[in-house]
Amino acid sequence: MLDKLHRLPTIAEGITRMAVDELDARLIRLFTEEPRIGVMEASRRLGVARGTVQARLDRLQADGVVRGFGPQVDPAALGYPVTAFATLEIRQGRGRDVRAHLATVPELLEMHTVTGSGDMLCRIVASSNADLQHVIDRLVDFDGIVRTSTMIALENPIPLRVVQLAEAAAQARAEG
Amino acid sequence: MLDKLHRLPTIAEGITRMAVDELDARLIRLFTEEPRIGVMEASRRLGVARGTVQARLDRLQADGVVRGFGPQVDPAALGYPVTAFATLEIRQGRGRDVRAHLATVPELLEMHTVTGSGDMLCRIVASSNADLQHVIDRLVDFDGIVRTSTMIALENPIPLRVVQLAEAAAQARAEG
DNA sequence: ATAATACTGGGCGAGATGTCCAGCGTAATC
DNA sequence: GATTACGCTGGACATCTCGCCCAGTATTAT
């Protein structure tokens, strides 16, 4: 199991700096490309003992590098093929309330507070361009949101990826 | 296995519209919250036969609703605690080349082409604010990128989430 | 040189997995 | 109304993986 003896990583916003070596990176790549293979098959592919793979996986999870192996759901397949990014400008002091409001909108997939004129950046989805308008209306219909700006995503040439980052981290570490 | 008899979903950018019922939504929620439980335990929790859970999982994956169960890697834990969003304005006709260039930068986690003055929206990470400058330099050092604008993510009050969307889809379907 | 750590390769039992099946209820079709 | 199709049930089965253990060895740091 993941939660047996290891302590949770000290998450202090940036203090976390883990040592990921080349084998870890290969492990991450392997499980990213073929999640279903299991520890046994992975040890064969990587040419290391099963116990090693098991230990590495445990460590990666204990260190927080690997958050988990949850299902990756495709919003488009759920009937929400339209993606958009909206920046919201918030009136001073209304941040907390706005957050709570945004959390209630299911089509809002994630939200960041950011620097710049827009205070919040939201990723939203909709079932159509027409529906997108409804979603935005629902999103913005709240006291404290001053101004909004929306970008509709046309294409996603580079979908979310992290393996190359893990490999970069491993290489950076190897080079000292 | 996932790839046995089912045909791959007809991915035609938006044509995909799957039927996700309430049990599917509960399944997705369950596996999202506790990915390690397995089919057996899931059937107990949901109060349905094991075969049903197995069939549902197969169908969800075959339909593309669930892409897979790959590891969820945390860039911060890898040593990249700083997240930023950059919009790039591209000179006409240089899109393809720019894409290829962007793909080579490991700190670039995802990229969308979007409407508006910025043509591309990039999500990037860095090991520090100072490093962010280097990353952006590397990103932008390419012929065809006219102008850029960067927002640094300060906080992430609503991390990427989809279960509530699946539940909304299930409810929408139930209501006809 | 010595200690600590990590990997190896093996063994162990418990449990889950993938795959069958017959029976049955519901819903759609004729 | 009768028939068909479909999905769920609950049970079976052999196989395999899992999590855990261990002693021996190699590698690294002290």
Size of interface A-B (CB pairs under 8 A): 240
Please name the helix (run of DSSP H) or strand (run of DSSP E) that holds residue A156, with its range, or none: strand A145-158
Two tokens at B139? 């990103």
Task: Write the residue in B20, B69, B154 that is nearest to A69 by C-beta.
Answer: B69
* Residue B85 CA, distance from chain mean position: 15
Rg (CA), chain B: 20
Q: What is the pLDDT of residue A6?
A: 31
Q: Do B153 and A70 touch (CB under 8 A)?
A: no
> Is B1-72 in CATH node 3.20.20.10?
no
Q: For chain B, where do the domains classified as CATH 3.30.70.920 start and end?
A: 75-152
Give the three-class secondary structure for A72.
coil
Q: What is the pLDDT of residue B168?
A: 96
Q: What is the pLDDT of residues A104-140, one digit of tens each?
A: 999 999 999 999 887 999 999 999 999 999 999 999 9
Q: For chain A, where do the domains classified as CATH 1.10.10.10 start and end?
A: 1-72
Distances (CA, A) of B91 to A60, A103, B96, B118, B119: 42, 37, 11, 11, 9
Quick one: which residue's CA is nearest to D16's C1'?
A40
Task: Write the residue in B18, B128, B151 that is nearest to A78 by C-beta.
Answer: B18
Question: How many Å lie between the alpha carbon of A151 and the closest alpha carbon of chain B?
Answer: 5
> Taking residues A73-97, what's their average pLDDT?
96
**Beta-sheet pairing, B120-126 with A66-68:** unpaired
Q: What is the pLDDT of residue A115?
A: 97
Two tokens at A49? 């003992």
Residue of A nearest to B9 (CA): A77
Q: What is the pLDDT of residue A18?
A: 63
Two tokens at A106? 């299911």
Question: How many Å lie between the alpha carbon of A62 and the closest alpha carbon of chain B?
Answer: 11
Asked if residue A158 has pLDDT above 70, the reply is yes
Please name the helix (run of DSSP H) or strand (run of DSSP E) that holds residue A18, with its range, or none: none
Q: What is the pLDDT along chain B (176 residues), one digit of tens a residue?
A: 322 223 333 333 333 456 899 999 999 999 999 999 999 999 999 999 999 999 999 999 999 999 999 999 999 999 999 999 999 999 999 999 999 999 999 999 999 999 988 799 999 999 999 999 999 999 999 999 999 999 999 999 999 999 999 999 999 988 76
Q: What is the pLDDT of residue A118?
A: 79
> Which bases in strand D are touched by protein, i.e. have an atom under 7 Å from a CB?
7-11, 16-22
Check if residue B4 sits with its Cβ under 7 angstroms from strand C.
yes
Please tell me what DSSP assigns to residue A80: -
Task: Give chain A's mean pLDDT.
Answer: 90
> How many Å apart are A15 CA and C2 C1'?
34
Query: CA B145 to CA B139: how far, in whole Å?
Result: 9
Question: How many Å lie between the alpha carbon of B121 and the closest alpha carbon of chain A?
Answer: 9
Residues of A in contact with B169 (CB under 8 A): 78-80
Distances (CA, A) of A146 to A90, A94, A142, A175, B69: 6, 10, 9, 48, 39
Q: What is the pLDDT of residue B18?
A: 64
> Which bases in strand C are touched by protein, i.e. have an atom under 7 Å from a CB?
6-11, 15-21
Contact call for residues A9 and A62 (beta carbons, < 8 A): yes
> Taking residues A6-34, what's their average pLDDT?
71
Query: CA B147 to CA B118: how far, in whole Å?
Result: 8
Q: What is the pLDDT of residue A152?
A: 98
Query: CA B150 to CA B152: how far, in whole Å?
Result: 6
Check if residue B127 sits with its Cβ under 7 angstroms from strand C.
no
Contact call for residues B18 and B63 (beta carbons, < 8 A): yes
Question: How many Å lie between the alpha carbon of B127 and the closest alpha carbon of chain A?
Answer: 8
Tell me the three-class secondary structure of chain B, residue by residue. CCCCCCCCCCCCCCCCCCCCCHHHHHHHHHHHHCCCCHHHHHHHHHCCCHHHHHHHHHHHHHCCCECCCCCEECHHHHCCCEEEEEEEEECCCCHHHHHHHHHCCCCEEEEEEECCCCCEEEEEEECCHHHHHHHHHHHHCCCCEEEEEEEEEEEEEECCCCHHHHHHHHHHHHCC
Check if residue B54 sits with its Cβ under 7 angstroms from strand C.
yes
Q: What is the pLDDT of residues A37-49, one digit of tens each?
A: 999 999 999 999 9
Q: Do A112 and B64 touch (CB under 8 A)?
A: no
> Is B75-152 in CATH node 3.30.70.920?
yes
Q: What is the pLDDT of residue A173?
A: 85
Query: CA A168 to CA A163: how far, in whole Å?
Result: 9
Check if residue B35 sits with its Cβ under 7 angstroms from strand C.
no
